[in-house]
Amino acid sequence: MRGICGHELVEQIFAGSAGAGPVAPKEDSMVSLLSKDTKTVIAMAHIGALPGSPLYDSDGGVDKLVDGVLADIEALQAGGVDAIMFGNENDRPYLLKATPESLAAMTTIVTTSKPALKVPFGVNYLWDPEASVAIGVATGASFVREIFTGVFASDMGIWAPDCAKSARLRSNLGRADMKLLFNINAEFAYSLDQRPIELRAKSAVFSSMADAILVSGPITGQSADASDLRKVCETITDVPVFANTGTNLDNIRDVFAVADGCIIGTHFKVDGDTWNAVDPARVARFMDVVNTLR
C-alpha cells in the first residue's frame, strides 16, 4: 500500500470524524519547558507495533496498544516527568513514509490516551515528519519531534526529508504554536552532509526555524557523543538543545551541565530494555536526581 503525505494525509486522519478538526491545547506550558532556563525531561510513551507492522499483535488489536500506553503514562507521570511524547518505536523495520493504517491507528491511540495526561504531550511518527505534524495537529499535541533537515544514508535507504513541507503543513493547519523539535543527527543513519554538527545545528535554526535542537547517539538508547553535545550547546544560544538518546542515571549530571533537557525512553524501561514496559521505580529514581540539578 502506498504512503501518503501532505494534505492527502491530513484528509485521511480527519475522515469520518464529523465536526472534528485541529484543536490546539487550551494551555500550552511547552513555552516554559523549552526555555533555556529549564532542565526539561520529556519521557517516551512507546506504542506497541501498529497495524501493518510485522510485529503487530492482531489478536490484541488497538485496544491492547492503548492499554500498554496508558500503563506507561501512569508510571511516567507518577515519577514526575515534565512532558510525554508518543512514538511508534516498535514499528520495525521503520518507514520513511507513513501508511494509512498506521497513521489512523496512532492517531486513535493518542486521542484515546489524552484524558489520562496531566502534562504536555508530543508525537513522533518514525520517520515521517509530515505524518508527525499531521498527527500532532489532529490530536492537539504541543510539540513534534522528527528528522526535518539533512541527507542521510540509513538503514531505511537514502533519507532526505523536506522541512519546508512540514513547516507549511503546520502553518496551513493553523498550529504555528506547535513546536518542532529537530533531531539533527539521526539514529540508524550516517549524515552525508559533512559540515560539523554544530554548523548543521546553527543552519537548521537559521534557515529552517527549529524550535529546539536534539543531539542523538547512533542507535536508540545509546548516548549522544559528549563532544558533539557540548559543541552544539556552545553554538546554539537562541533555542534549547536537548540530548535525544541515551541519557541515564550515570550521565545525567554531565548532560545537564551543558544541555537544556533530555528526551528519555530506554532508561525508564524494565531492565533498561527499550522494548519493555516503563518501570515506575526507575522513573522515580531518575527524577529524584533531576530535581536536585534544577
Model confidence at 197: pLDDT above 90: yes
3-state secondary structure of 290: helix
User: Rounded CA gap, 59 and 56, in Å?
Assistant: 9
Would residue 287 count as lying in a domain?
yes
Backbone φ and ψ for 182, nearest 5 degrees, come out as -95, 110
What is the residue type of 199? L
Rounded-to-integer distance, Cα 6 and Cα 98, Å: 11
In a domain, 58, yes or no: yes
pLDDT band at 21 (very low <50, low <70, confident <90, very high): very low
pLDDT band at 28 (very low <50, low <70, confident <90, very high): low
Domain harbouring 228, CATH code: 3.20.20.70
Give domain status of residue 3, yes or no: no
> What pLDDT, on the 0 to 100 scale, is given for residue 217?
93
Mapping DSSP to helix (H, G, I), strand (E, B) and coil, where does residue 263 land? strand
| Percentage of the chain modeled with pLDDT above 70 | 90
2 pLDDT more than 60: no
Write out pLDDT tens, residues 223-264. Answer: 999 999 999 999 999 999 999 999 999 999 999 999 999 999
15 located within any domain: no
Type of residue at 79? G
The Cβ-side half-sphere exposure at 189, using a 13 Å CA radius, reads 23
pTM value is 0.91
How many domains, the chain? Answer: 1
Q: Is residue 197 part of a domain?
A: yes
Give the contacts of 115 (CB within 8 A, at least 6 positions apart). none
Q: Which domain holds residue 115?
A: 30-293
6 located within any domain = no
Residue 135's φ and ψ, nearest 5 degrees, are: -65, -40
Could you tell me where the DSSP H helices lie in 6-144? 6-14, 30-33, 61-79, 100-113, 129-139
Determine the Cα–Cα distance for residues 246 and 259; give it in Å rounded to an integer. 13
Nearest to 85 by CA among 17, 160, 32, 33: 33
DSSP for 41-62 reads EEEEEEPPPPTTSTT--TTTHH
Cell of 274: 527499550
Asked if the structure places residue 108 within a domain, the reply is yes
What is the reported pLDDT for 15?
43
Question: Who wins on pLDDT, 257 or 28?
Answer: 257
What's the burial of 21, exposed, middle or buried (CB within 10 Å: 0-12/13-18/19+)? exposed
* E-state strands within the chain: 40-46, 83-87, 121-124, 143-146, 152-154, 157-159, 179-183, 189-191, 212-215, 241-243, 261-264
